[in-house]
Structure 1
Amino acid sequence: MLREYQLTNFKAFAGPETIPIRPITLIYGPNSSGKSSVLQSLLLLKQTLQEAENPETLLLPKGNLVNLGGYREFIHRHDVSKSFSFKVVFDVGKQGKPNPLENLLREKLIQAPLLGLQVAFSYDKQTSNVVFSSVELFLEDESYPVVIYKPEKQEVLEIERAGSREIILKVDNINYDYNFWKAWFDIYGSKIAKNALAEVNSHLKQKNSRASQLQSKKKKEQLEKLEKEITELIQLKKRFDNYKFKEAIEDFSKAYQHPFIICRNFLPVTSDGLLVEKLPDPEIRYLFQDHRRHWLPDVLGVTLQACSMFRRFLESLIYIGPLRDYPERLYILSGNSSQQVGKSGKMVSDILFRNPELLKQVNEQLERFGLEYELKVASYTNKETSELSDVFALRLVDKYTHVNVSLLDVGFGISQVLPIIVQSMLSRNTTLLIEQPEIHIHPRLQAELGSLLAECIKPPLNNQFIIETHSEHLMLRLQKLIRKGELKPEDVSVIYVDRGAEGSKCLHLRLDEEGDFIDEWPGGFFEEDFNEIFQ
């Protein structure tokens, strides 16, 4: 589950602006404050992975999900000398899937199952291209990275592999102040040094025996070479006999001089690994000899798993825009088996046609919303063949009069809220981005949306919502559910985006156990009713 999102130099945000993400995240703020930019930045990343035909494309700002122009348009204050970056932090303990930190957790090398990834970009004015600045890996809740990858000499290094050009980044820095390095050494350092020492002693014994044979045969040249090797082994014996964390750090550094990671778009996808034969230093080879599994905490592997996790997150991310499609009297089955209603909700009809059980669940929600209609799918038959055609309609049956009407013949609000209800009930373990769900919806229905969200973040759905909204009624319902104990304060994150001279800021407004705000709302928001009545 996404736990935190950070933006730097994106549109109105100078940043770094950190946004705590919870099962329900509501983003408020005045018009043009920049609140939509949070969602747009995620759509930019999803769009790049989804639509970029060239794996060398780092960012694709113009596409079907969002049109941001180019780097100059979306970078803060149009200053192309600035670097754009994003950071994501996942709570991998709540993934419900294989945990990339499982080994490090099991071995108690880290305390909290938080995994972070930050990717930074810059702009090359000579080529007019976006280039990598860095990729950084974070563990636990530390604010500094455990490892940093950068292009060699601050340029993107491209290699030829299987006829295609690939972007590669090399390890630039490893932060050995991270607690888990010392924790690893405390658990495994003495054992590995002991086994390496035994290996050295065995080789030393063999070489001493061989030296005696050469000496007796008076083979001076071979003996000199062997004695040099024996001297090296004696030095290693002294090193491993008194192996400390300082020496371990030196060996870490030597081992990590060579690996690089290969990228597709803005995410690493594989690496060359750490192979013994690539390591020239004899002490490293001895340490690796029989204990590769325990020798190094696999930060390369965890980096790639973090990237894979983020890639899956973006691929499954679902976006519902602020303007949903106008309903139609008749629909033609498209043949598309998508499980997403789409940006404008246009696939709602197909999904309901194919999924009678979902239709039943949606009708249950409509009843909870207090809408006195039952939604039905009306299929049409071909008169000539007596077979069902691909033409069908979505109809509403009035529960009082039993009159059967088209969605077009009732209030516009039902057609606007329907895609949100359908997608929320259809999705499993998915993050939904929704802009202005309250458009064309009565205040009472806006409040009922809060109950829908509260239901859909729980098992078996386990969804997560990031919503840009102006609705006070939605917020009031969530506060009520917290007060009644049906939600916890930590289930909801309320963000207020406010714009100032230094750019937009994200204020986190906390809730207590009673659903009341611990932090005050900025002046002027939600005060319109009071001002109209009393001023």
Structure 2
Amino acid sequence: MPFKILLVTVGKAFIPIVKAIQSVQPERVIFYCTENFKDQIIGEGQPCTVQVGNQIKRYPNIPTLAQLGNRFQQNRDLKIISNPDDLADCYQFVANTIRQLQESYPDCNIFADYTGGTKTMSLGLALACLESGVSLQVNSPVTLSTVSHPSLQLPRLNNIKTQLIPKTITNSITAFRVGRFKAFSDIQYIPIRPITLIYGANSSGKSSILHSILLTHHAIKNKGELDIYSTEAGGDSVDLGGFNQYVHKRDRFSQVQWAIDLNPKHLNLPDQGLADLLKEIKSLSVGVGIGSASSRDGKVSVRSFYLEAEGEEILSMSSRSKGMQLDRLNSKNPIIRKLIEAIIEPPPYSLQMSPQIENAIDELVPKIIGKISGLFPETLHIEEEIELTSELNFTPDPTNPKQIVRFLFPYRLNQLIHAIAGNIEQNMGRLHYLGPFRTYPPRHFAFSRQQDENWDSGGGYAWDILLNRADVREQVNHWLGDKKRMNTPYEITVRNLLPDSQLANELYPQLLKTLQELTTKLILHAANWGDGIQEQLERMIQDFTDAGISSDNLSNILPEVDLLVSMMLDPEQISEEWIEDITKKGDRISDLVLIDKRTKTQVTHRDVGIGVSQVIPILVSCYGLSDALVAIEQPEIHLHPKLQAELGDVFIQSALGQQKNLFILETHSEHLLLRIMRRMRETFYDELPEGCPPVKPDDVSILFVDPDAKGSIVMEMPLNKKGELKKAWPGGFFEEGLEEVFG
């Protein structure tokens, strides 16, 4: 029977998924879901619920209900979709999985059930499956039965595919602002460019920059959770100690200030109307204040919010008993003015801006409230009219400007904030953090891929990428073996392991088949000897006897016999056929190993210098990620100076080449900086090495964190076009070498 794999999208309803699994009876099931519904698959106890009347019935997770047993492996078969409403992302995510499955299991049968998940997830799954010839099925809500669609050939699918190839995400972050957080008292401006290097003495406050990013990333991904010790991305590498610890000077009655600056031209906005509002704006700033309620045991949450354009306030909100209340609205700001005009000017209203409308807006401001979702306000509305505005059949009186504004303005303002917040969440959601101590996986990687809270922060994801992407392995291997770089004799490769029970079941029939073929060919060959066959056999036996060969001494087999067998069979081809037949019928366990190219000896990362295992997550982050926000503490750790400089080229290529990653690097490495400065100088004089992207001042941000009695200060150290510092390092930083030589 062919090896069967089922792909399913999972939403709230779990019963159709269980039915699909029971119907197909696959050897493997791959689940696509969002973070919100992953408990349906891996939750302990009884995470699946069904409401029957007023009662809620609880059931175990889907793999348990479907009795998948070891056919389901969480690390391998659970796929989390981060953008479930982005068709391009959903399509590409599934298409990549199908391609990998078809490469690994060329003879398998792949099925897909698109009953669950968001409609966009289902559509993405369906399109990817139709493109790849995968059979589809869905549980019909009309007939309550499974409807199957065999693989179809769609003549226009190539056009659809072209339109769905994800557009390159352009980074819109230009700066962060942080105040009253850890080492920072006053708000510090932190300009962000494709390559941002953060320097400073030990305990100067450098890490506070990265920790503020980890905090806000965690809040966005975890429903506004802010009073935390460890973060989702940082794991145990970063212990914030809770709000009372990370607020500056432990003043729990003050607010941590955090803001992000954006380039509006790089925002992905849902409609052209919102894009038109921002098309002439050069910069946006979105900020929040994080604090606790007035009571001593008050919950830590977002207490204030503001939106600015080019340094001018657009609006501000603060936390009240009923939610986030709009405190100020600058109706003179071009964005707000255009927002109002877009509401009142088109038919059926056809109104012009007037004092009456301005007064209506002013009266409306203190009545608009919302709630915090993650880190930003949403669902702005007028409290007393929420029931009225929720009625689909209600429309304002075209002759009543006040009613028009009251009904439409909060909705449109909410759209603007939601769109900007969504872009921030998308940018922050791309964060990959590497702590100062990278994960050092156990010797046998295949049997220890635990994905706890420290897996990502230690670079564990890098080993997963290496296992699954041959292109990244090739680039890393080149770096490891290049004489100008690490110059090691090692090469990373994938070793496929099979259970001994599978070998026991498959090896005997393969051996029997080959022996039968060999015997048949020998008989046919001997038949050509005719009447002299007995004479020929007796001669061969005599040759064996003369050579001292017996059944107990077959290692000295005559070359003529070896040649005869080779004429009958191709041992190399037989070996390849055996491997293919045995491996395609079961689950292979893939493991990463290192090959010593000098001796062809198989070793692991535990058998070589620690520098190899520490640099691999850095290299994979650069080679294997695209359009990511990558924050790394001490990338130079365990590397000698020459390799620190070589890392500079890796960061340049990853940030300014096709991958467009955004790097924030906390470092002490002078050699890393010198390589970047060198490439800027070579760019200026048109002397860049072949293949190296040009590096200009707008591509690099050099920051120096200087401790002060009041609080640490972030100073920008700008470079000119030749890669030279425009001002000297504070306090003689990096002058130790000269002091040691001439002091």
TM norm structure 2? 0.57
* Larger displacement relative to structure 2 (346-355 or 510-519): 346-355
Partner deviation per Cα, 1:303-324 (whole Å, 9 max, x = no partner): 1222222222333211111001
Change (3 A) 1:284 1:250: farther
1:24 is matched with which residue? 195
- CA 1:371–1:94: 2 relative to 1, 3 Å: farther
Unpaired segments ≥5 residues, structure 1: 158-167, 198-239
Q: Please identify, of 515-524 and 7-16, the stretch whose mean Cα deviation from structure 2 is larger.
A: 515-524
Deviation at 1:113, TM superposition (A): 4.6
Give CA deviations for 1:112-153 in whole Å, capped at 9, x if unaligned. Answer: 3533211102333432432443111122x22x420111123x
* SS of residue in 2 equivalent to 1:133: strand
Q: Aligned pair in 2 of structure 1 residues 331, 195: CA closer, same or farther (>3 Å)?
A: closer
Find the structure with the greater CA-based Rg.
2
**Are 1:75 and 2:189 counterparts?**
no
The partner residue of 2:487 within 371, 376, 388 is 371
Q: Deviations over 1:367-410 (max 9, x none)?
A: 37343443222333444533575262420434x66655432333
Q: CA shift at 1:429, angstroms?
A: 1.1
Distance 2:740 2:364 in 1: 69
Is residue 264–residue 283 contact of structure 2 (8 Å, CA) maintained in 1?
yes
Matched, 1:286 2:458: no
Q: How far 1:464 moved relative to its partner?
A: 0.3
CA distance, structure 2, for counterparts of residue 336 and residue 462 of structure 1: 30
Work out whether 1:321 is the aligned partner of 2:435: yes
Residue equivalent to 2:300: 130
The structure 2 residue matched to 1:488, chosen from 668, 671, 696, is: 696
Deviation at 1:101, TM superposition (A): 8.6
Residue in 2 that maps onto 1:87: 259
Q: Among residues 714, 717, 723, which one is paired with 1:509 in the alignment?
A: 717
Q: Aligned partners of 1:62, 1:260: CA distance in 2, in Å?
A: 32
Deviations 1:466-518 (A, max 9, x none): 11100111111111111122111111101100001111000001011101111
Q: Find the aligned partners of 1:38 and 1:344 in 2 and give their Cα distance.
A: 19
Cα distance in 1 for partners of 2:375, 2:415 equals: 17
Q: Please give the secondary structure, in 2, of the residue aligned with 1:501.
A: coil
- Residue equivalent to 1:227: none
Shift in Å, 1:100? 6.0
**Cα-to-partner distance string for 1:231-265 (whole Å, 9 max, x where unaligned):** xxxxxxxxx7xx64x55432332344433222234
* Shift, 1:347, TM fit: 3.5
Which amino acid is 1:385 matched to? Q
Identical columns (%): 28
Q: TM-score under structure 1 normalisation?
A: 0.77
Aligned residues: 465
Counterpart of 1:252, as a letter, is: I
Distance 1:82-1:296 versus aligned 2 partners, 3 A rule: closer
What is the RMSD of the two structures over their aligned residues, measured on CA atoms? 3.5
CA contact (8 A) 1:116 1:306 kept: no
* Equivalent of residue 705 in structure 2, options 492, 497, 502: 497
Q: Is the 8 A contact 1:44 1:61 kept in 2?
A: no
| Contact 1:122-1:130 within 8 A present in 2 as well | yes
**Structure-1 residue corresponding to 2:216:** 45
Residues 88, 118 of structure 1: 8 Å contact kept: yes
**SS of equivalent to 1:470:** coil
Is the CA contact 2:302–2:372 (under 8 Å) kept in the aligned structure 1?
no
1:182–1:289: structure 2 CA closer, same or farther, 3 Å change rule? closer
Deviations 1:503-535 (A, max 9, x none): 100000101110111122112311111111110
Paired residue for 1:395? Answer: 594
In 2, the alpha carbon distance for the partners of 1:422 and 1:370 equals 15
Matches within 5 A, 1:351-500: 351-366=465-480, 367=482, 369-372=485-488, 373-386=490-503, 387=583, 389-390=588-589, 392-398=591-597, 404-485=602-683, 486-500=694-708
User: Which residue matches 1:249?
Assistant: 358
Cα 1:341–1:394, aligned 2, differ >3 Å: closer, same or farther?
Answer: farther
Q: Deviations over 1:186-244 (max 9, x none)?
A: x77995799657xxxxxxxxxxxxxxxxxxxxxxxxxxxxxxxxxxxxxxxxxx7xx64
Residues in 1 aligned to 2:345 and 2:590: alpha-carbon distance in whole angstroms: 72
User: 1:529 and 2:700 equivalent?
Assistant: no
Match of 2:125 in 1: none
Partner amino acid, structure 2, of 1:433: A
Check 1:256–1:498 CA distance in 2 against 1; reply closer, same or farther (3 A cut). same
**Corresponding letter in the other structure for 1:462:** K
Distance 1:287 1:481 in 2: 60
Cα distance in 2 for residues equivalent to 1:176 and 1:520: 45
